[in-house]
Amino acid sequence: MQAAVGFSVSVSVSVCCNSKCSINASSPHPPLFIPIPSNFNSAFSKPLIIHTHSPKSNSYVVRAQNNHHQDNDDGFYMRKSVELARKGLGYTSPNPLVGCVIVKHGNIVGQGFHPKPGQPHAEVFALRDAGDLSENATAYVSLEPCNHFGRTPPCTEALIKAKIKKVVIGMVDPNPIVASKGVDRLRDAGIEVVVGVEEELCKSLNEAYIHHMLTGKPLLTLRYSLSVNGNLLDSLGNGVTDSGGYYSRLLQEYDAVILSSSLFRENLSANPVPTSKEPGANQPIRIIMHKDSGSSNPIPLVINEVTDKAIIFTNCRTATTPEEAQQGIEIVSMDQINLDVILDYCNRQGLCSVLLDVRGNFSEYEDLVKEGIKKKYINKFVTEVLPVWNGCTKNDPLLPLKNLDQGVKVENLRPMASAQSVVIEGYLNFE
Ligand SMILES: [Zn+2]
């Protein structure tokens, strides 16, 4: 049974308005995270065309091209748009990541991406960049251009005004106030429109935004580490927290990360507050669960390091100390910490993606993971298998999960690159 939600905000100050506010405009392009073909990256810096010359051997021959592309090489320019869109990674929620390139006579004459809410959309930056060269050019946009007045004027009107001849769109916007209306508006204006180029790539780029738009809830991903012999580990692989490591990139990608306060209590020096090391990364909001078992169990002060990026959910009504109050940490007291309250908080903050990061004492996560399975909230998992074969522990912390009578279908299991461990990701399908 869920306890009465009835929580109260004891201290509430500086969690910023839309959570991920600032942007480093000069931040270098972050590494790609979504699994992609091995030729994908290089296709941007040195244009390549791939031919399957030898179907029998399934070998791929890669031929370098000069910088000049045919206007109809839609996939290439769409991938370029996605690459641009990724420059906004971690900054755009609740908006989507969008990139745009303007192409004329086989040359890119303008490019842009959406940097963060309140800023112009990708198309506007790309059209500005192209200037007069936009006339009779083709625009490639990873997501359908908007056709409504939000915080900025509609991009469809900007494209029409710039006399764009053709618009190639990666995917239709799942936002009901946009869906296909942008396409219709462009076609009504006499512009040729192509939809669905590199559609899967574009969908994968914005999986959190799409999920949030369709379900009204953030995308919830469960992350945990295992030994080779299948035991839960409270550790991460070598190098994964460094720049380029999968864990550092997850923290860059996700809007929020749920952690247990026990992570900091047990080994303060070994477990600093999880922070993405990607250059220019916007750090996620740290949602810290503090469970008081009755004995003295203060909230660790290490959390002070991230006061502007932390919120503490506690079941202890006397957990607040003057230190936290002074630091302006937001603390929410409730009878029982549960996902409904946490996800509702994330929604109100405009957060589209949440990482449930199992580190520290698993017993503190057990209820959330069970609830996430039971209520079908967990959409995705990331599992790191470390090069460890450990001895048996007295009580298997995973036993309560292994004993769940509910099975779940796993889909799209994929490996991710990691230096010395194996990382797999997949999706849970509760249908
Ligand atoms: Zn727009």
Report pLDDT for 407: 85
| DSSP H or E segment with residue 156 | helix 155-161
Q: Active site includes 123? A: yes
- For residue 96, is the peptide bond before it cis, meaning its omega torsion is within 30 degrees of 0? no
Query: Quick check: 173 and 179 in contact, CB under 8 A?
Result: yes
Report pLDDT for 113: 98
CA of 145 to the centre of ligand 1 (A): 5
CA of 132 to the centre of ligand 1 (A): 20
CA of 173 to the centre of ligand 1 (A): 11
Report pLDDT for 198: 97
**Rounded-to-integer distance, Cα 258 and Cα 211, Å:** 19
- Choice between 87 and 322, residue whose per-residue pLDDT is larger: 87
CA of 245 to the centre of ligand 1 (A): 33
State the chain's mean pLDDT as an integer: 80
Domains and their CATH numbers in the chain? 74-206 (3.40.140.10), 217-429 (3.40.430.10)
Percent of the chain with pLDDT over 90: 56
Residues within 5 Å of ion ligand 1, judged at the Cβ atom = 121, 146, 155
Largest Cα separation within the chain, whole Å, is 72
Report pLDDT for 206: 97
Report pLDDT for 34: 36
CA of 71 to the centre of ligand 1 (A): 23
Cβ partners under 8 Å of residue 270, min gap 6:
none
DSSP sequence for 226-249: EETTS-EES---TTTTSTTSHHHH
Report pLDDT for 150: 77
The residue-averaged pLDDT of 16-44 equals 34
List the single range of 47-56, 106-115, 191-200, 276-285 with lowest mean pLDDT.
Answer: 47-56
- Choice between 330 and 44, residue whose per-residue pLDDT is larger: 330
- Determine the 3-state secondary structure of 138 from DSSP: strand
pLDDT at 5 over 80: no
Q: Which of 83, 123, 198, 364 is catalytic?
A: 123
**Rounded-to-integer distance, Cα 224 and Cα 236, Å:** 9
* Exposed / middle / buried, residue 1 (Cβ in 10 Å: 0-12, 13-18, 19+): exposed
Report pLDDT for 51: 30
Report pLDDT for 67: 45
Sign of CA dihedral 25, 30, 35, 36: positive
- The structure tokens listed for 207 are 């999986």
Closest CA to 420 of 252, 228, 270, 274: 228
**Rounded-to-integer distance, Cα 206 and Cα 148, Å:** 20
